[in-house]
Structure 1
């Protein structure tokens, strides 16, 4: 169990580190682009690509972190309409199940896209950077989201079935 806990915390550390690095890189690139383009009036090709790649990693790893924290956006209007708590809990479990199915499907799709990218080696226009780096962010981020959504589904299902209490966390 200690090894699993260490892996869990290391994974969280890597996500946070990735978010800090990609957000910082994006900010620096945008500032440099503004200074170089508008104040020095010098064209600097390729900075836009770097900004886009760092933004894509930020979006997908940020989405995974939101799924981990359970702070992701939810459009569960049925929970507000249904009066009974038991029914609301079951609707939440159903919504969790649908979310897991969609996230797993998207993860499979992005894995196939990533494999295609590795096989054909498409490159960016200006920097000629391999695009599989950006495509990998989609697979990694959605894979982590699917994983966290599955944990949330199991947790909510166990609570609805009475196997786990809300304070068991």
Structure 2
């Protein structure tokens, strides 16, 4: 799964960079803008952003401001703090996932299209729900890992 994620994110970022390069060359050097390229770039850009957040959740490398870690000196205290943080993340994330579900139902019902190429925007909008579900799965897995660390006395990151 790690290899697939790595190649997918690399492919998406290359696609976005190449499209930007083509846009710059055609618009500013050749003075012939490609109409609709921004609309096509919407899909890989949104998916790259969302899957990047999912990847950070999978790797447990989100930026955190754990000020309490400074005051807590024991590994057990750090594990308990991590468990509390994961529970809060899970509660808020599940709440946001329900909003993402409602938004996905709305996107299906309305079925918006891009203004130039008439591409359905649903395929970029559904990324929010997919990303939230995956992030909640990884958050739950990290919570289980921290609980097991607390039981066994193992160290956490």
TM-score between the two structures when normalised by the length of structure 1: 0.83
- Do the aligned residues in 1 keep the contact of 2:75 with 2:155 (CA within 8 Å)? no
Query: Which of 107, 115, 120 matches 1:125?
Result: 115
Counterpart Cα distance in 1 of 2:32 and 2:115: 19
1:33 corresponds to which of 23, 41, 44: 23
Alignment of 1:57 with 2:47, yes or no, is yes
Matched residue of 2:61: which SS? Answer: coil
Q: Is this contact kept in 2: 1:118–1:132, CA < 8 A?
A: yes
Q: CA deviation at 1:103?
A: 1.7
Structure 2: gaps of 5 or more residues: none
For 1:101, the equivalent position in structure 2 comes to 91
State the alpha-carbon separation in 1 of the partners of residues 155 and 79 from structure 2.
12
Question: Aligned ranges for residues 14-163 of structure 1 at < 5 Å?
Answer: 14-162=4-152
How many correspondences in the alignment? 156
> Are 1:110 and 1:135, in contact at CA under 8 Å, matched by a contact in 2?
no
- How far the C-alpha of 1:43 sits from its partner, in A, is 2.2
Over residues 61-94 of structure 1, what are the superposed CA-to-partner deviations in whole Å (9 max), with x where a residue is unaligned?
1111111111222222111222343323211110
How many angstroms does 1:41 deviate by? 0.5
Are 1:26 and 1:50, in contact at CA under 8 Å, matched by a contact in 2?
no
Q: Which has the higher contact order (CA 8 A, sep 6+)?
A: 2
Contact conserved, 1:33 with 1:44, CA < 8 A, in 2?
yes
TM-score (norm 2): 0.89
In 2, Cα distance between equivalents of 1:129 and 1:114: 17
The change in CA–CA distance for 1:13 and 1:85 in structure 2 (over 3 A counts) is closer
**CA distance in structure 2 between the partners assigned to 1:16 and 1:113 by the alignment:** 28
Q: What residue is the counterpart of 1:4 in the other structure?
A: none
- Cα shift at 1:30: 0.1
